[in-house]
Amino acid sequence: MQAVAAQESLIQTAADWFSGTILAGRMVHVFGSGHSRIMVEEMWPRYGSFPGWNPLVELSLSFHNLVVGANGQRQAMFLENVSGLAPRILRNFDLNPTDTALIISSSGCNLVPIEMAQEFGQRGIKVVAIISKAHSQASTSRHPEGKKLQDFADLVLDTGAPVGDAMVHIEGLDTPVAPGSTVAGCLLINSIKAEVALRLTRAGQPPKVLSGVAVVGAERAVELFESAYDEHAHRLAKLYATVGK
């Protein structure tokens, strides 16, 4: 919570940018490789969330369930440092300077998130990065010029996670356990989400929030679910409308 409170003004600025994008009918592109995928899915779609976010989740970079063998973790960790993959991902979309982007990477040192931020920036799209500053400073970038994610970001939020991410030291065990970047990252994600919802509502365009039956009743829950997913489809269609033209 302290990491979030200390960055309140930065969160407000990010929310200003993101709400501007959504109010303009465009989308905020949210990307994370590896376990940073968790923060992407925390933003959308899930209960308490609303349309306006384009979750860029590449399974080849974030499918860890099998661990080894086909689609294993070794391959995913290799691929997130392959130069040129980011522009191939973005080749699928008709991007616009009205768009904005949120990129999550604890170290800020893997190549695909770095090049993703670079690609967005070259298109005039503002980039917000979520990193652990301590972990990033202690880590070596895979970028050929030593650049890190924060070097291509317009605004940087810090999870406050320690070097190596793991936080708990156990007597007799020489390696700490229990990483903290996901916990703090989700706090930052939901702080941004709440601030964006506030701005959309004040602008007269309250978001269609995915809500549970226990909260709004069965009929309203279905109405919100269908209308939110329809809105997402309509926004996404704009990103495909003129691809390749």
Domains located in the chain, CATH noted: 2-240 (3.40.50.10490)
**Unique residue bearing structure tokens 């994008």:** 21
CB 222 within 8 A of CB 230: no
φ, ψ at 144 (rounded to 5°): -60, -25
> What per-residue confidence (pLDDT) applies to 3?
59
Does residue 100 contact residue 126 with C-beta atoms inside 8 Å?
yes
What is the model's pLDDT at position 198?
A: 98
Spatial separation of the C-alpha atoms in residues 235 and 83, rounded to whole Å:
29
3-state secondary structure 184-210: HHHHHHHHHHHHHHHHHHHCCCCCCCC
Return phi, psi of residue 155, to 5°.
-150, 135
Contact assessment for residue 35 and residue 182, using Cβ atoms and an 8 Å cutoff: yes
Element containing residue 56 per DSSP (H, E): strand 53-56
b/e code 64-77 from CB counts within 10 Å (16+ = b): eeeeeeeeeeebbe
User: Can you tell me the distance from the alpha carbon of 137 to that of 134, in angstroms, rounded to the nearest whole number?
Assistant: 5
Cβ–Cβ < 8 Å for 94, 169: no
Residue 6: its pLDDT value, please?
Answer: 73
What pLDDT was estimated at residue 64?
79
> Which amino acid, residue 165?
D
Which H or E element spans position 31? strand 28-32
pLDDT of residue 71: 87
Q: How far apart are the first and last CA of the chain?
A: 46
Kindly report the backbone phi and psi dihedral angles of residue 148, in degrees, each rounded to the nearest multiple of 5, phi listed first: -120, 170
Q: β-strands 100-104, 53-56: how paired?
A: unpaired
Tens-digit pLDDT profile for the chain (245 aa)?
A: 565 667 899 999 999 999 999 999 999 999 999 999 999 999 999 999 999 999 999 999 988 788 999 889 999 999 999 999 999 999 999 999 999 999 999 999 999 999 999 999 999 999 999 999 999 999 999 999 999 999 999 999 999 999 999 999 999 999 999 999 999 999 999 999 999 999 999 999 999 999 999 999 999 999 999 999 999 999 999 999 999 87
Q: What DSSP string describes 72-133?
A: -HHHHHHHTT-TTHHHHHHTTS---TT-EEEEE-SSS-SHHHHHHHHHHHHTT-EEEEEE-H
